[in-house]
Every structure is written in C-alpha cells, then in structure tokens.
Structure 1
Amino acid sequence: MNENIILETRDLGKSFLGFAAVSGVNLTVRRGSIHALIGPNGAGKTTVFNLLTKFLPPSQGRVIYDGEDITSLKPAEVALKGLIRSFQISAVFPEMSALDNVRVALLRLAGGGHRFWRSERELDALTDEAMALLDDVGLADFSHVLAGELAYGRKRALEIATTLALRPKLMLLDEPTQGMGIEDVDRVTALIRKAAQGRTILMVEHNLKVVSTLADRITVLARGQVLSEGDYATVSADPKVREAYLGVTAGEETAHA
C-alpha cells in the first residue's frame, strides 16, 4: 500500500442497459492534493462521483480508499470513514439558521443525527465549534440568518462549512462554483484552498480558470474514459483535450491558424 495515495480506482466501469457511461477508469488521488475531474458534458464525471461515494454500484472494477477496498460498502459507511461529498445543488436545510445547519452536522458526527430535536443542550454544546467553522468560511456575521435566505454563493459556503463539520479526510466537491458570478467564484475558490489545508479534495469543476488556479493534478474524462491526465499545463496543451472541448482536431487548428 502506498501511503501517499488516499483514493484509487481500478478498471472502474458502469453500464446502463448496455450503454457504458464509464469504462476502464483508473484514477489515483494523492493524499493532501487538490485533484480536479473535468470533461465536456456527458463525459461521465458525475457517474464517477456516484461510484466513488457508493450512490451507484459499479458494473466492474474496484474502489480503494485509504488502503481499504470500499467497492461493496454503502454510502453511509464510506461517509463514516471520512469520504464526504457535497452535491451540485446546495444541500442545506433552508428553514434553519446557518448556525443550526452546522450544529446539526456536528451532532451527526457525534452520532446524534436522528435525535437532534430532542436535546437543545446537545446543540448548545456545539455552538462554539459551529461558530468557528462559520468564521472559517466567512459566515460568522450570518449565523442567525435562515439558510434559505442566504445569497447563492453564501449557501455554497455554508455547505462547505457543514461538510467540514463532518471532518472529512477526502472532500468530493461537485461543481462548487456552478451558477456563480465572479465575486462568488473568487470567494469559494479561496474557501476551497483554505479547506484543502490538512485534507484532500477531489472536485468536478466546469470553470477552467478555477481548475487552473486550484488543481495540483487534473484528470480529463471524455465518453466515460480517461482522456488525459497531468497538471494544468500538460492537459491544456493536449490536442485530444482541445478536440474534446472544442470539437476541432489538431489538423483543423493548424489549417485555421
């Protein structure tokens, strides 16, 4: 076992009614890195995320996390091991305050997620830690605002806070800047960089500027298979990647130059 590797897949694949959405994906994520998974629409990125977090069973292959084969485990089981996913659509309780969202997440970590409504004392005991997490994501001044009333970028910041409350070893972020304006993108990019301190992040992201700013390593998917891998300079210079994104071949680029 390589201690520097926190996650790897071996020949991972998923088929739906004979259609291979993902095929033969070999992914290696180094501990302590920010690793981006990118590709054009329909490339299989979300399917890979669903396979890694066990929301889908694979048709073939294995998932190894922190040295353990987790291929047959359930979503809750892998979450308890520190593999925590945030979703493309913000997943917070809109009728609860930002503070209560984080306190409930902390209570779930302590094993009280199904009885939080019974014990105000348990929630109160988590207030200081919850406030520290809100401060980390720039939401300390919004602690008593209902989550549903927060601006979109701040909702995503709250989601990062609730994800951090579960103390992940590996955070999987699904399109964290989708639908954001420039100011919110910059804020969330800074939050992701901060959240990466002391942990590993695997992210699906469509904004290539964000990817170029954050990612140590990038895996490019196309038609459910790994097309290219490396740092941003390497993959952005790969003719196969340009063809997948732009629909032009290297020869056509030359002809139009």
Structure 2
Amino acid sequence: MTHILETVGLCKEFRGFRAVDDVSLRVREGDIHALIGPNGAGKTTVFNLLTKFLSPSAGRIVFDGRDITREKPAALARQGMVRSFQISATFPHLTVLENVRVALQRRHAPTYAFWLPGSVLSRLDARAMDLLEQVDMQDFAQTKAADLPYGRKRSVEIATTLAMEPRLMLLDEPTQGMGHEDVERVTQLIKRVSAGRTILMVEHNMKVVAGICDRISVLQRGALLAEGTYAEVSADPRVLEAYMGSETELEGAH
C-alpha cells in the first residue's frame, strides 16, 4: 500500500530538551491513522513539525513522494495537506455558510483577490452548501458561528477543511471538550468524510480511536513506542505502562 506521508528520524529540540526523538512515521493512503500517547508525549509538536509551524532539528518529512521538510505552511495546504486545530477556529460573526465560503475563496481565488465582491462570492454558495450537507450542517447555513454549540462548530471546521480539497487531513483533538452525543456524531462524521481521503488525527478518546482508526502510533516522551492496529497496541505491555494505570480506558474501548 502507498504511504502518503512519511517521517524519517524526525527530531525537535528546545534548548537541549528533545521533545520529538527520532520519530519515523508511515501513514498509508486511505487510512484513518491516530497519533496517541500520554500528556506531554510530543503529539502536538509532531503535528506542528508536519505542518511546518515548527522546523525540525533533524530528520525528513515526505508527503506524496516529495520532500517537504523545508516547505512553508501555505505551500503544504496548496499541495493537499490541511490541518484543523484543538481550539475552535471559526469566524464567530460570520454565518456558517460564509465561513465555508471564505475557505472556498481561499482555495479558488487568486491570492491578490482574497476578499471578493458579494456577487462573485455568491457563485460559491452551491459548493458551500454541498460541503455543509456532507457534514450534516445544511440546516445551520444562516446561523452565526458564535451561536452554535461547540460540537457543531467542530463540524463547520471540518467543512472548511474539506473546502481546501485535502488529500491528507490532520485533525488535532477533534472531539476534545465534547459531550457523549457530540463525540458520537463527530466520530461518524470523520468516518464519513474519510472516503477517498487520508486522515491523521491526535485524539485522547480511546473509544473514538478504537471505533474508526485503521492504524495507531503511540508516542512516549517524544519517541515512537508502538504502532499497529488498536488490538495490537492496546495489548502491548509497554503501551499500558506508558498510560500509567489507564489501561482500563484502553481495554474498555474494545
């Protein structure tokens, strides 16, 4: 199977502290791949390295066969690697439709015409509505993002990510801070939008990971501890020890 994303010996040091230590990841095209680990394991730092918000101290990053180690974040988005963040990132005073339309115009308009007249923007409405239907948000199209419950804001973010036409979606804690009902809905949404795409996600909720992920990489103290299916990593004694007594959470997700 083709690997759409690979890291080779990826390292990141901060004043002598090695936050990411010789991480070699391989993400297969078409998979939902989870990056898990205890707090402080280096998951978000790895994401920041992959999406070029940080530069590695050593190692290489290869996306779709191209070395992207020195690329800029905007260049990666144009190539099809698009990231969502832990913190909700909608424009609060725009409607749901307008939020998605902004993402569409960023993708389809020339950079010098980022803000376009309303008459031109209205041409993007049909595509925006199509994306909202994909995430079951069409009934909220005219709702201001600020008025949405948290779980629905996350759905809008996924729609804006889809607007960038990603080949690889990086989702940073997509269910963080959600109640059970929202977690279930967003989990099914991720599964639905993964068709024809690859997803790499950082996620703490083991039931989410167990339910939809094809492969899992476990980090501990910045290093890759284990990799495999959920059944394989959840049975690994090193993984259980790394979670320091939270093995009931790992086992309970089966």
TM-score range, shorter chain: over 0.9
| Distance change >3 Å, CA 114–CA 207, structure 1 → 2 | farther
CA distance in structure 1 between the partners assigned to 2:182 and 2:74 by the alignment:
31
Partner of 1:46: 44
Partner residue in 1 for 2:179: 181
Q: Which residue of 2 aligns with 1:6?
A: 4
Task: Identify the residue that residue 252 of structure 1 maps to in structure 2.
Answer: none
Deviates more, 1:238-247 or 1:108-117: 108-117
- Amino acid of the structure 1 residue aligned with 2:156: L
Determine the C-alpha separation between the residues in 1 that align with 2:243 and 2:55. Answer: 29
Query: Aligned match of 1:142 in 140, 160, 168?
Result: 140
What's the counterpart of residue 222 of structure 1? 220
Runs of 4+ in 1 over 4 A off after TM superposition: none
Partners of 1:117 and 1:8 lie apart in 2 by 36
Q: Determine helix, strand or coil for the equivalent of 1:157.
A: helix
Equivalent in the alignment of 1:111: 109
| Distance in 2 separating the partners of 1:247 and 1:17 | 31
| Cα distance in 1 between the residues matched to 2:198 and 2:246 | 34
Cα offsets for 1:156-204 (capped at 9, x unmatched): 0000000000000000000000000010001100110011000000000
Letter of the structure 2 residue corresponding to residue 102 of structure 1: V
Q: Hey, what's the Cα distance between the residues in 2 that align with 1:153 and 1:96? A: 17
Distance 1:209 1:57, change over 3 A: same
Aligned to 2:81: 83
CA drift at 1:248:
8.8
Q: State the alpha-carbon separation in 2 of the partners of residues 132 and 114 from structure 1.
A: 26
Question: Residue 114 and residue 96 in structure 1: after superposition, are their counterparts in 2 closer, same or farther (change >3 A)?
Answer: farther
Query: Partners in 1 of 2:156 and 2:207 — Cα distance?
Result: 23
Q: Which amino acid aligns with 1:242?
A: L
SS in structure 2 opposite 1:117?
A: coil
Q: Show structure 1 runs of 5+ residues with no match.
A: 250-257
Q: TM-score, normalised by structure 1?
A: 0.94
Q: Which of 81, 92, 95 pairs up with 2:93?
A: 95
The Cα of 1:22 is off from its aligned counterpart by: 0.3
Change (3 A) 1:113 1:107: farther
Q: Does 1:165 align with 2:171?
A: no
Code of the aligned partner of 2:28: R
Quick check: 1:104–1:113 contact (8 Å CA) kept in 2? no
Percent identical among aligned pairs is: 61
Q: Give yes or no for contact 1:116–1:123 (8 Å, CA) kept in 2.
A: no
RMSD over aligned CA atoms reads 1.4
CA distance, structure 2, for counterparts of residue 116 and residue 98 of structure 1: 18
Aligned length: 247
CA distance in 2, matches of 1:51, 1:136: 30
For 1:130, which of 128, 131, 155 is the aligned residue?
Answer: 128
